[in-house]
Structure 1
Amino acid sequence: MSLEVRTVAESEYPNWARALETGFLRPPVVSEEVTARRLANSDPARVRGAFDDGRCVATFRSFSQELTVVGGAVLSSDAVTNVSVSPTHRRRGLLTRMMGADLAEAKERGDAVATLIAAEYPIYGRYGFGPAAWTTEWSVDVARTGLDPRWSGPQDGGRVDLVDGADVREFGPALHERVRAAQPGAVGRDARWWEVHTGVVDNGNPWTEPFYAVYRSAAGEIEGLMTYSSDDHWGDAKQPLNTASVRKLIAVTPAAERALWRFVCSIDWVSTVRTGLRAPDDLLPYFLPDPRAARIVTQADFLWLRILDTVRALEARTYTATATLVLEVRDKAGLAGGRFRLDAGPSGASCAPTTESAELTLDVRELGALYLGDESALRLAALGALTEETPGAAAVAESLFRTPGRPWCPDVF
C-alpha cells in the first residue's frame, strides 16, 4: 500500500502521538488524555502525518507564532514542531511532502517567515531554513567566581524576592513582552505557555515545582524573573554539592540580570549553577570577578529561519548602515525567490522586485541565516555559500545585516 500523507483526524491523535514518541526514541505509549492536552490548542488543519496501512509513521505540526526582528518589529511566523519519521520509513520523502504542503499553506496564509528548532543540523537547509540564532549554556563553579560569599542583596536599591507560580502568571506576560520587544529572535508566549511552565497544565512531561525569583528595582518595578530548581547532592565529607539549574531568566535591564545571577550564586549549599540555554553574548561571565568560572558546556545552532515573503521580511527590520543592494535570491521551492532591490538604513527599508543586475546571489537558506543579524556575509562568501556578482557586495551586505548584539530565542517550541 502506498504511503499516505495528510492531515490527522482527531480520532487518530493517539496513533500520531505514538509515532511522535517513536521518532524521538521515547517510550511509544501515550495516554489519550495526555495526547488531548498536548493538542488542545492545535489547529487540526496543521497537524499532519504519514500513514502506512493505517499506522502513523511520520508526524508534523505547525502553529502561528510572532517573531521579533531587528528593530523591534514583529512578523507573523509559521512555527514548525513535532517533526518525526519512524526509523522504518526514513528516506522515503515523507518529511519533504509534509514540509512542502505546510510551507505552501503558510505562504498562502500570509506568514512572512517560518521558524523551527532543529534537532539535527543537516536536515532543514534543503527546505530553505538557515541557522539564524545560536544558544550557549554555561556551568558556573561558584567557589571560583570570586564573588563575596557575604552578599545579602543588590546594592542598587533593588531587591530579589521569591514568588509563586500564580504571581508569575500575573506579571510574567507583561514582563516578557517588554523583553521580547528588544530581543531579535524572541517569540511570543500565549497564556497556555505560562500555564504549562508554572505547572497548571499537564503537558505530559514530569513536573517538579521550581523556585521563582523576581528582581524589583528601587522604584518597586519588576524587571527580571528567574525560574530555577536544585538537585540534592552531598559529598563524602558531608559537604553540600548541589547544582542549581536555571530553567528561564528574562530581564529588561542589566541590573536585573546581574542581581538574579548574583542571587542564585549566593544560595547556601549551591556549588554549581547551570545557566540553561542563553544568548551566546550573554553578560553572565562578565558579571563574575573571574569569568573563567563560567565554563561553556553547550554552544550550538538553535533557531532556524526560512523566508517566505522576501519583500515583507526585508522591509520589516532595520539595518546597521545605509546602502542599496540588489539581491538574487534562489529558492527551489518557488516561495521567496527572485531579484530584489533593497534600499536600507537604520530607520527602515524598502524592498521591491527589480530587473537591475544582481550584485549578490544567495540561496534563501543563507538569507535566513543573515536575516536576524548573526551570520556574516563575508564569512558566507569565503565559504562559497553566496556569490559576489559585483566586487564588494558581500561587504555591503555585512554592513547592512550584521548587528552589534546577537539574536536569541529564549524558548524551545
Structure 2
Amino acid sequence: MTFDPALPGAPSLPAGLVQRTLTEEDAADWIRALHTGFVRPPTPSPEEVAVRLPHFDLARTRGVFDAGRCVATFRSFAQEVTAVGGAPVTATAVTNVSVSATHRRRGLLSRMMEAEFAEARERGDVLATLIAAEYPIYGRFGFGPAAWYTQWKVDLRRAALDPRWSGPEDGGRIDLVDGEALRKLGPEVYEAARAARHGMVSRCTRDWERRTGWNLVPDDTWREPFHATYRAASGAVEGYVTYAADEGWDDGNQPLLTLTVRDLVAATPAAERALWRYVCAIDWVTFVKSGHRAPDDLLPMLLPDPRAARVVTHSDMLWVRVLDVIRALEARTYGTAGSLVLDVRDAGGIAGGRYRLDAAPEGASCARTAQAADLTLDVAELGALYLGDESVERLVALGRVEESAPGAAARADALFRAARRAWCPDIF
C-alpha cells in the first residue's frame, strides 16, 4: 500500500478507482452520485441536469469513478471572503462533497481534497472555505470553524413593541418589491454590506437567481417569498429583507403565523433597525424566526424585552483553511500594534512553518522567520482565529494552542479579536 504524501496515513486510491475532472457527458452520473451521498432521490431528471450543468466549472468539478460509475463528488468555485478590516481575500469555496456509502474509508475525499489544494495554490488562492454538513470531518484537512451563526425565534406577544409603528421615523421608507426588482437592487446593497462585515462571502448571479425564484432546478421546492427594501431619506436603497410565513390559528380563531426571514442584509444600522422593526410589525404574525444571523446580531436588543427572542439554533457556519499564511495575515487589520511569532503546523504540507507577524490597526507585515515561537498551533486553529471570532486563550486552555512565551496568548487575542463577530449568511 502506498500513502498520500499530503495527508500522512491516508491510502492512495485502491485499484480500479479513478479520480478525474468531469466532462459534460459525466454530469448526470455525477449528480446521481451527489444525490446518493446526500440521501436524496438518486436519479436526476434531464431538466435538472440542463439547469445545473451551465453553472459547473468542469475544470473544478471532480469525481471518483469505479468501473465508470461515479461514487464520490467534489466541486469548487472562486470566492472572496471579507477579512477583518474589509479587504476581500481570494478563496476556493468547496461544495458538493460526497462519498457513496459503498466506498467510504478508502481515501477518496483525501485524494480529491489534495488535488483541490494543489490547484488552489497554483491559482493563488489565499484560503479555502466550506460549510460543514458534519463537524468532525474537515479539521483533519486543516479547516477550522471561523464564523458561527445564531437563529432566534421572537415571541411578539412578549416583545413589548409599540403596536402603533407604521414606518421608519428617520425619513426612510419600506417598500415591497418583487423578485425581479430585488435581483437589480440587492447586489449593490449586499456588496456595500460585505465591504464592511468580515466573514461575508461574494455572491454570483446564480445566487440571486435562486433567491428570487429564477431559473430553478425543476425538483426544487419553491414557495415565493416577500421582498422589502429600506430606502433612506436620501433615496438610496440601503437594505432589504426576504421572508415567508406559514399559516397557524389558535383555538380561539386568532392568527398565530410564524414569519421566517430568509435573508436580511443592511448596509447601514438605520436600515437594519428599520427592517427588523418592519418584520416584527406585520399583521397576523405572532412569531418571527430570524434565519442565520451573527451571534451578536442587533435583533434581541432592539426589542424592549430581549427575552422575547429565544435562541433556537447556535452552530458553526463558515470554515476556513489557510493556504497562504503570509498573504492571509497581511490582508486583515488588527486590534492593536504588536509582534508575534507563530509556529504553524500543517500535516498537509501546504502552510506549515514559522512566521513573524508585525501587526497594527492599519495593517500588517508577515514573513518566515527562524525566531523562537511565541505560539504553536495547527493550521486549523489558525483558520478558526482568522476572522477574529475565536479566543487564543481559550484554545490554549483546550490544549489546541501551545504558549511558549508568557503572555503570548493575551497579546495574540488583543491583536486578532474583532469588535464584532464574524458573519457569513450564505450556505454554499
TM-score, normalised via structure 2 length: 0.95
Identity across matched positions, percent: 63
| Residues 39-78 of structure 1 mapped to structure 2, 5 A cutoff | 39-78=53-92
Identify the match of residue 350 of structure 2 among 324, 335, 355: 335
Q: Which amino acid aligns with 2:200?
A: A
Report the alpha carbon displacement of residue 335 of structure 1 after superposing the two structures with TM.
Answer: 0.9
- Give the Cα separation in 1 of the matches to 2:136 and 2:357: 30
Distance 1:318 1:399 in 2: 12
* 3-state SS of paired residue (2:157): helix
Letter in 2 for 1:344: A
What aligned pairs does 1:362-381 form with structure 2 within 5 A after superposition? Answer: 362-381=377-396
Within 5 Å, give how 1:75-224 maps onto structure 2: 75-204=89-218, 205-224=220-239
Name the aligned partner's letter for residue 77 of structure 2: F
How many Å separate the matches in 1 of 2:34 and 2:195? 33
- Correspondence for 1:265: 280
Letter in 1 for 2:79: Q
Unaligned runs of 5+ in 1: none
| Alpha-carbon distance in 1 for matches of 2:154, 2:109 | 40
2:297 maps to 1:278: no
Query: 4+ residue runs of structure 1 moved beyond 3 angstroms?
Result: none
Q: Deviations over 1:287-324 (max 9, x none)?
A: 00111111111100100000000000000000001001
SS at match of 1:40: helix
User: Take 2:315 and 2:50, find their aligned partners in 1: how far apart are those partners?
Assistant: 33
CA positional deviation for 1:251: 0.4
Give, in whole Å, the separation in 1 of the partners of 2:339 and 2:222: 52
Deviation of 1:327 (Å): 0.8
Equivalent residue number for residue 9 of structure 2: none
Structure 2: gaps (5+ residues): 1-14
Residue 426 of structure 2 corresponds to residue 408 of structure 1: no
The Cα shift of 1:236 comes to 2.6
User: 1:245 aligned to 2:260?
Assistant: yes
Deviates more, 1:57-66 or 1:27-36: 27-36
2:357 maps to a residue whose letter is L
- Over the residues paired in the alignment, what is the CA RMSD in angstroms? 1.1
The C-alpha deviation readout for 1:333-367, integer Å capped at 9, x for no partner, is 11111111100010000001111111111110000
* Equivalent in the alignment of 1:23: 37
Residue identity matched to 2:302: F
Q: Distance in 1 between matches of 2:153 and 2:39?
A: 27
For residues 269 and 307 of structure 2, what CA distance do their matches in structure 1 show? 20
Distance 1:203 1:324 in 2: 51
* Residue 256 of structure 2 is aligned to residue 256 of structure 1: no
Aligned to 1:360: 375
Q: Where does residue 404 of structure 2 map in the other structure?
A: 389
Question: 1:83-137, CA deviations, whole angstroms, 9 ceiling, x for partnerless residues?
Answer: 1111121111111111111011101110000000001110000000000000011
CA distance in 1, matches of 2:358, 2:140: 29
Conserved? CA contact 2:47–2:217, under 8 Å: no
Q: Which one of the candidate residues 22, 27, 40 is aligned to 1:13?
A: 27
Deviation at 1:248, TM superposition (A): 0.0
Matched, 1:302 2:355: no
Secondary structure, in 3 states, of the residue corresponding to 1:120? coil
Rounded Cα–Cα distance in structure 1 between residues aligned with 2:355 and 2:119 = 23
Q: How many residues are aligned here? A: 413
TM superposition shift of 1:140 = 0.8
Q: C-alpha separation between the residues in 2 aligned to 1:229 and 1:29?
A: 30
Shift of 1:172: 1.0
Deviates more, 1:124-133 or 1:224-233: 224-233
More divergent stretch after superposition (344-353 vs 53-62): 53-62
Quick one: distance in 2 between partners of 1:188 and 1:85? 27
- Residue 7 of structure 2 corresponds to none
Structure-2 separation of matches of 1:251 and 1:203:
29
